[in-house]
Amino acid sequence: MPETSSTTPNPSRGARSAECVEDTLPHDTQRTAPDAQRRRIGEPVIEWCIKLSGLVVVAFVFLIFLFLLRDSLSLFRQYSVKEVLFGSEWLPISEPAKFGVLPLLVGSVFVTFWAIVICVPLGVGAAMFIAEVAPKPLKHVLKSLVEILAAIPSVVLGFLGIIWLGPFLRSRFGLSTGMCGLTGSLLLAFMALPTIISISEDALVGVPKSYREAAYGLGATRWQTLWRVILPSASSGIVAATMLGIGRVVGETMVVLMVTGNAPVMPKSILQPLRTLTATIAGEMGETVGGSEHYFALFAVGLVLFAITFTINFIADLFLRRARK
Amino acid sequence: MKIAVRRGLRAVEESNAFSDGFALANADQYNLRRMGLRTTTIVLSVFCATVLTGCGEAVDPNEPQGFVQTKGSDTIVNAMQETAEEFMKDYPHVFVAVTGGGSGVGIASLINKTTEIATASREMKGKEIEMAEKRGVHPKEIVVAYDGVAVIVNHHNPIDRLTIEDLHDIFTGKTTNWRQLGGKDLHIVTLSREVSSGTHMYFKEVVVQLNKKGSTEEFSKETLLLTSSQAIVEEVANNEGAIGYLGMGYLSDRTKAVLVAKKPDEFYPPTVQNVVNKTYPLSRPLYLYTDGEPAGVTKLFVNFALGPMGQTRFMATGFVPVGETLARNQ
């Protein structure tokens, strides 16, 4: 393109353009010389870029927190913190509206608790099998299958929950409806399994070989070695896996929105319909007008959720660090 | 294309005249940078020229073109979609996007200025209008069709008629077993749409609060809030104890619509005829809301929806058209 422009019928321009070309040519041929110098300048630049990207991540987390805090604080100007956190009624469109988060919080806790009760034994068991018992070819197949499990979109699981698991549980347990906490817990357990299996398996594999050899040397059977030596040594890693699994389950939205029935009742049992924090945000955010009470209330729900996942991830991190030591 | 490129080049050179003067007065080191600058400008203007001439060739400037977004009521989302498809056949350069989510979603979007048309199965609340005016949006209400809210139960449920009082007791949790209404000994599972649904609001006013101003009665807390009318159909079709409500447009053979009565012994099924002559007690208008009088392509689309083509689509999806004569002819 520059050549085209320099051949235009403008005498003064033509002359100057030619000058430019001369100017650029020697510069091009000298390129090898400042290479070392460029490296000397380049390295710190790249270092800075990397540092910057690290800082950007920190800034994002911080900004998200500030944003949540700012908009939830607007709610607390009209409603007391006690009223919101411990209020037992969530009636966002009534007059006057009530924004008690407690039933949603309890709903989330119920679903998460049962999901973890179901998936931790299963996940750790599977990890033990993959890490210690399974022959090599089977191990590879299982590992990739676990990865595929992680790749199933949650909306697909939710759909299966509505048309198959819900009706199945209803007829099995004689429930009044299949849209209940248990359906959600089972599907969430299924979703948390890959996380728990792969992190526990890493922890089990990471147990030093000498422990195993010592146990066998003392005449322990394979089961005794696995159960009394390897599992306790990997316990920090397994706790971390559980914590990350909980984080995954608490934050999951689509499945619970689709299958738990979303009744904003204070749940007494897992076999009852219930409403979680995430489903509330997803189900209601579309209809709120920016700047309304309901809008701020959803931000407050988000803040509660953020606090929970932050704490859980923090604990998981502590255990992971201990596991590495 | 060639002409366009040359035209672009000439334009660039003319526009560069000023910066050339600047470069002359300064040191030669600017030359290099200017070259780079010029190259990118040329590429850009060539691109622009191509794109602009490309558009000019394809569309007759007299033909309407543009984009209309409609958002809101899930009750009429299917009817709107069909109307939009017909409309786009007639006006190929106007693109109409139809989204559901619930009447609340549509109204919120209108107030947030993210949609041209909000569809709603309920009237805008005073509070919402106030909020809209505060943001410089002046909602204009247009009735696009009428609808009956059908109450559905499972086919195996022997109950086939209920009064508004019965429904009130069921949905507020005063009646909890079908046996109390002469049915089987089964727990009643009440199903509702999410709070963003206009049908939810309508049902709450007419059935839960029995149209009493200042009533603070709420849906029973045990009521399941489902995210779509389809999910309600699914649960009712599978669950013998379930009862739910939805727009007439969603009725199908998979569930059974019960007859509803305002006064004892005057039971009517939810049919177009009963909505037209207002004997079915749960009927309501469906609305379009625009910001001020609709104009441009939005006006074109609104008129199309109210015209014979649009109204036929509404009728085909189970609603009652606005023109009474049109309805009677059917």
Collapsing DSSP to helix, strand or coil, A99 comes out as strand
CATH number at A90-324: 1.10.3720.10
3-state secondary structure of B59: coil
> What Cα–Cα distance (Å) separates residue B164 from each residue in A302, B123, B125, B175?
38, 21, 24, 13
CA distance B230 to chain A (A): 11
Say how far apart CA B83 and CA B66 lie, in whole Å. 17
Answer CATH for B66-146+285-329 from 3.40.190.10, 3.40.50.300, 3.90.550.10, 3.30.565.10: 3.40.190.10
A283 CA: distance to closest CA in chain B (Å): 7
User: Is residue A299 within 8 Å of A65, Cβ to Cβ?
Assistant: no
CA end-to-end distance (rounded Å), chain B: 56
Of all residues in chain B, the percent with pLDDT exceeding 90 is 46
Read off the pLDDT of each residue in A141-165 and give the average, rounded to a whole number: 91
Is A24 within 8 Å of B108 when comparing Cβ atoms? no
The pLDDT of residue B227 is above 60: yes
In this structure, of A60-64, A214-218, B63-67, B208-212, the range with the lowest mean pLDDT score is B63-67
Write the residue in A4, A94, A163 that is nearest to B234 by C-beta: A163
More confident residue, B72 or B56: B72
List, for residues B124-173, the tens digit of each pLDDT value.
Answer: 988 889 989 999 999 999 999 998 999 999 999 999 999 999 999 999 99
Within 8 A of A19 by CB-CB distance, chain B residues are 28, 31
Cα–Cα distance, A283 to A276 (Å, whole number): 10
Structure tokens at A315: 């604990």
Tens digits of residue pLDDT in B265-302: 889 999 888 888 888 999 889 999 999 999 889 999 99
CATH homologous superfamily for the domain B147-283: Periplasmic binding protein-like II (3.40.190.10)
Q: Is the pLDDT of residue A288 over 70?
A: yes
Decide if B176 touches A, using CB distance below 8 A: no
Name the minimum distance, in Å, from the CA of B52 to any CA of chain A.
Answer: 21
Among B9, B26, B195, the strongest candidate for a mutation testing the A interface, having the largest count of A CBs within 10 A, is: B195
What single letter denotes the amino acid at residue B23? A
pLDDT value of residue B277? 83
In sequence order, the 6+-apart residues with CB closer than 8 A to the CB of B102 are A286, A287, B72, B73, B74, B193, B194, B196, B197, B198, B200
For residue B147, the cross-strand partners are B284
Q: Is residue B286 helix, strand or coil?
A: strand
pLDDT score recorded for residue A286? 75
Residue where the block lists tokens 């009636």 = A91
Amino acid A31: pLDDT: 53
Q: pLDDT higher for A4 or B169?
A: B169
Supply A174's token pair: 């004689």
**CB distance B32–A178 less than 8 Å?**
no
- B66-146+285-329 matches B147-283 in fold: yes
- What pLDDT band is residue B58 in, cutting at 50, 70 and 90? low
Chain B CB within 8 Å of residue A178 CB? yes
**pLDDT confidence tier of residue A214, bands split at 50, 70 and 90:** very high
Q: What is d(CA A322, CA A317) in angstroms, rounded to the nearest whole number?
A: 9
Q: In which element (H, E) is residue A60 found?
A: helix A35-76
Q: In whole numbers, what is the pLDDT of chain A averaged over residues?
A: 85
CB contact (8 A) between residue A273 and residue B187: no
Write down the domain spans for chain B: 2-58, 66-146+285-329, 147-283
**Cβ contact A287–B104 (<8 Å):** yes
* pLDDT of the residue at B213: 80
CA distance A171 to A177: 9
- Res A7 pLDDT > 70: no
Query: What integer is the mean pLDDT of A240-254?
Result: 91
CB-CB: which of B13, B104, B235 is closest to A177?
A: B235
Question: Is A283–B196 a contact, with Cβ atoms under 8 angstroms apart?
Answer: yes
Residues B221, A5: C-beta atoms closer than 8 Å: no
Q: Do B238 and A290 touch (CB under 8 A)?
A: no
Mean of the per-residue pLDDT values of chain B: 81
Interchain proximity A10–B107, CB inside 8 Å: no
- Is a pLDDT exceeding 80 seen at residue B56? no
pLDDT band at A325 (very low <50, low <70, confident <90, very high): low
For the segment A289-298, the average pLDDT, to the nearest whole number, is: 86
pLDDT tens-digit profile of A160-192? 998 899 999 998 888 888 899 999 999 999 999
Give the burial class of B70: count Cβ atoms within 10 A of its Cβ; 0-12 exposed, 13-18 middle, 19 or more buried.
Answer: buried
**In this prediction, does ipTM exceed 0.90?**
no
Both tokens of residue B178?
């079908």
Query: A21, A179, A280, A284: which to substitute to probe chain B, counting the most B Cβ within 10 Å?
Result: A179
Q: Which two tokens stand for residue B213?
A: 């101003």
